[in-house]
Structure 1
Amino acid sequence: MSHLIGYARVSTRGQSLEHQHSQLVEQGCARIFEEEVSGAKRDRPELTRMLDHLRHGDVVIVTRLDRRARSTSDLLAIAELLRASGAGLLSLAEPWADTTTPAGRMILTVFAGIADFERSLIAERTSVGRDAAKSRGVKFGPKLSLSPSQVARARELLEGGRPVSEISKIFGVHKATVYRALGQG
């Protein structure tokens, strides 16, 4: 037997879940999971509890898709989790987002394709941009703790008999940094 399950979320403590709750009750939700947490946070305990609670045939109802997901890719990932558990998704504000119908599933499939295409474009642009920056001499990664002249001076000090612990204190870095800079790490 399928159940209507509600999910309500507000971003800040100053906002109220009351309006979403009443809309979900009007729809006949048997259980409503509510949380006050930013959608940008990955850790949404009530969303996780709701996903664990779902059974085959259940339909998750949200008042708006932005209450459910942080981004298109997040929405698609959650929709896939629902599909895998045999549950559907219905948004009250976006009637096209109804995975209990063939048309709604098709729309989400098209969105998944668009999101995948966008991810590949972003990866390609990032790669091209990184390669162009490298060809201009841009260095990636953390800033070096010791400049080339400091490395040369550290080498001189080491060859002069100074211990690495003393050299690290002179330059205000950890001993491991001196060892790495001198190629001895």
Structure 2
Amino acid sequence: MTNKPTSGLLIGYARVSTQGQDLAQQRDTLREIGCTRIFEEKISGAKRDRPELGRLLDHLRLGDVVMVTRLDRLARSTADLLHIAERIKDADAGLRSLAEPWADTTTPAGRMVLTVFAGIADFERSLIAERTRAGRIAAKARGVRFGPPPSLLPEQIVHASQLIEVDGKPVAEVARLLGVHRATLYRELEAD
């Protein structure tokens, strides 16, 4: 957000999750506070593609302020909120939530709160990645195998090995007998 004085517009965004819900209350509240344009959607917040939100973000101009009745109408997660707030900031516009007065990027305090949220979200992603990595290491140590299940059972691999090494059968014929591709049989024999 620049420090230049601007005369931007208040632009509202209203969303409900299902077709059966009504946007009237959000619309009325946004009109009462002076929104000159309101973008409305009846779509789940979990949907990545929200056409009206995209149009709103493309419509923003210097000094505009996006108004929402509650942040959960705008974003489905902290990461999503931060992404949308960044797009709003890139347009030199602001964001305000009526239900969460601390979420006001038109003020230094509001921008600081959003910056703290960004740091917390990054920290949370790091913790999740570390726990996932540690969990995989512990699972591997317990013998858990990742990836798709093996194509052949251990006794089938032993039998295939005997057919090839002792009986002299060609790998292609043994693979056909076991109902697997020749490359699969080679891979399983090498892993054994």
- TM-score, normalised to structure 1's length? 0.85
Letter in 2 for 1:8: A
What does residue 55 of structure 1 align with? 61
What does residue 112 of structure 1 align with? 118
What does residue 18 of structure 1 align with? 24
The separation in 2 between residues aligned to 1:179 and 1:113, in whole angstroms, is 48
Query: Do structure 1's residue 183 and structure 2's residue 183 form an aligned pair?
Result: no
- Give 3-state SS (helix, strand or coil) of 1:127's partner: helix
- Give 3-state SS (helix, strand or coil) of 2:67's partner: strand
What does residue 36 of structure 2 align with? 30
| Contact 2:9–2:36 under 8 Å retained in 1 | yes
Change in CA separation of 1:137 and 1:183 when aligned onto 2, cut-off 3 Å: closer
Letter in 1 for 2:184: R
**1:165-180 equivalences in 2 (<5 Å):** 167=176, 171=179, 175=181, 178-180=182-184
Letter in 2 for 1:72: T
> Which structure is larger by alpha-carbon Rg, 1 or 2?
2
Letter in 2 for 1:63: T
What does residue 131 of structure 1 align with? 137
Change in CA separation of 1:124 and 1:84 when aligned onto 2, cut-off 3 Å: same
The answer for unaligned runs of 5 or more in structure 2 is 1-6
Deviation of 1:21 after TM superposition, in Å, equals 0.9
- Give 3-state SS (helix, strand or coil) of 1:182's partner: helix
Q: What is the CA deviation profile of residues 74-112 of structure 1, one whole-angstrom value per residue up to 9, with x for unaligned ones?
A: 111111111111110000111110000111111111111
Aligned identity (percent) is 64
What does residue 169 of structure 2 align with? 160
Change in CA separation of 1:183 and 1:142 when aligned onto 2, cut-off 3 Å: closer
The separation in 1 between residues aligned to 2:138 and 2:172, in whole angstroms, is 42
Residue range with higher mean Cα deviation, 63-72 or 31-40? 31-40
| Contact 1:151–1:182 under 8 Å retained in 2 | no
Query: Do structure 1's residue 101 and structure 2's residue 113 form an aligned pair?
Result: no
The answer for unaligned runs of 5 or more in structure 1 is none
User: How many pairs align?
Assistant: 179
| Contact 1:4–1:28 under 8 Å retained in 2 | yes
What does residue 121 of structure 1 align with? 127
Change in CA separation of 1:149 and 1:68 when aligned onto 2, cut-off 3 Å: same
| Contact 2:151–2:184 under 8 Å retained in 1 | no
The separation in 2 between residues aligned to 1:86 and 1:13, in whole angstroms, is 33
The separation in 2 between residues aligned to 1:128 and 1:105, in whole angstroms, is 35
RMSD of equivalent CA atoms: 2.4
Letter in 2 for 1:9: R
Change in CA separation of 1:113 and 1:161 when aligned onto 2, cut-off 3 Å: closer
Letter in 1 for 2:136: R
- Give 3-state SS (helix, strand or coil) of 1:6's partner: strand
- TM-score, normalised to structure 2's length? 0.82
The separation in 2 between residues aligned to 1:8 and 1:145, in whole angstroms, is 51
The separation in 2 between residues aligned to 1:153 and 1:37, in whole angstroms, is 56
